[in-house]
Amino acid sequence: MPGNILQSLGKVEVRNPVMLLDEIDKLGAGGFHGDPAAALLEVLDQEQNRTFRDTYLAMPFDLSHVFSIAPANVLDTIPGPLRDRMEIIALSGYTEEDKMHIAFRYLLPRQREAAGLTAEQLVLEEDTLLALIRGYTREASCRNLERELGAICRWVAVRVAEGSSSGMQVRPDDLATVLGPQHFENEVASRVALPGVATGLAWTPVGGDILFIEASKSPGNGRLILTGQLGDVMKESAQAAMSLVKARAADWQIAQESIDKSDIHIHIPAGAIPKDGPSAGVTLTVALISLLTGRKVRPDVAMTGEISLRGLVLPVGGIKEKVLAALRAGIHTVLLSARNHRDYEEIPENARQQLTFIWIERVEEAVAQALVSNPDVSN
């Protein structure tokens, strides 16, 4: 039989359909059966697909009129030659407002119908749905949100079937009874209660996330210890941050002796998760200065940006995803490189209204904005 491409064209009976090649980042490596990436090159390349050759037909077929869409979660696993043939369109995660509309219009009616309930038998108000989104489904998509809504619908359906209730309105206080304790909580304030802890912003394949960086010191000979399963680039960022703090210690009123006779340990929690990239540079620097000066980092501030040894804060990627992660985590102020101002228009309007953006060019500006004025004398 012909291959899947020509079989699909035979089903739709047109030569110019939209073809969805889903999960193209899960493409297997080539073996003795042949390389699937090489076959897809002939499908996606506009210069080659005019003479696409199906093995069964053994004759060329024009695929140039087919519009191909290939969704993927991660770009890194797509073979380079294949990725070069594509136009990359990045879609970021949903905001809380987006999730509310999607849940009310699509997810809740679908799960309610699947559980055999009517709109009168299960009522979910906006405050309940907001508590569900914030406490149980901190994610970029809506997949877990639909799962939790399905669990609520089934819980109510059981009580209706038992005759103990003809219907009910689920309130925020009922979520712990239905779904158990909250999966997520706002831990920013408790995490940065001590000097040496700063909140950064990270990009992940499923959206942005907040990143806590902890620094501590102990008597030693000036060693820098790094833990938390860090990649090479992040280790180099930590070394650059340490070099910058040593070189500019006098500017921040840090005694050189406290650096030379102490071992500095930098740890990034969630040690089972690999972390890499240069965007934590400014957060690492602020954490070190906070530790060595005894000044706490403001709990409502998060930051991202690469640093140079001259103290410049350089631009990084994934700004929209990182800003939305800060909003989900209860952050009020975000410090970004001034050269990332070009990404401001990509941030959703409701996120812009709820957050304060401070554009910085140098590390000194980040320190002035992120650290409280008075040092903690107990440290």
Q: Which residues are catalytic?
A: 279, 322
Return the DSSP state at 168.
E
Q: What is the largest CA-CA distance in the chain?
A: 81
Neighbouring C-beta atoms of residue 69, cutoff 10 Å:
12
CB 210 within 8 A of CB 202: yes
Q: Encoding tokens for residue 353?
A: 């209204």
Q: Are strands 168-170 and 313-314 parallel, antiparallel or unpaired?
A: unpaired
C-alpha to C-alpha distance for 229 and 282, rounded to whole angstroms: 19
Q: Encoding tokens for residue 231?
A: 């990649």
Q: Of 106, 119, 112, 182, whose CA–CA distance to 154 is shortest? A: 112
**Amino acid letter for position 353:** Q
Return the DSSP state at 103.
I
CB 275 within 8 A of CB 266: no
